[in-house]
Amino acid sequence: MKQINLATTIMCMLAIPVFSKFSMLAAYGYIGIFLLAIGWEKKKPAEGAD
């Protein structure tokens, strides 16, 4: 049980710096997708119901 916890702790310690960089990219990605989705939804009704 301790070995699993140790491995998990090491994985978390390694993952935090990688994940923090990834989460920054993901945040920008989500903002971009969100803005595109808003633009797409505004365009859609003009074309017609689909």
Q: Tell me: the pLDDT tens digits for 6-33?
A: 888 888 888 888 878 888 888 898 889 8
Closest CA to 22 of 34, 9, 14: 14
Domain assignment present for 3: no
Domain assignment present for 50: yes
pTM, 2 dp: 0.41
Q: How many domains does the chain have?
A: 1
Residue with tokens 């969100």, as numbered in its chain: 34
Start-to-end CA distance of the chain, whole Å, equals 54
The DSSP-derived string for 10-49 is HHHHHHHHHHHHHHHHHHHHHHHHHHHHHHHHHHHHHH--
CB count, 10 Å around CB of 19?
Answer: 12
pLDDT computed for residue 24 by the predictor: 84
Print the domain residue range for 39: 22-50
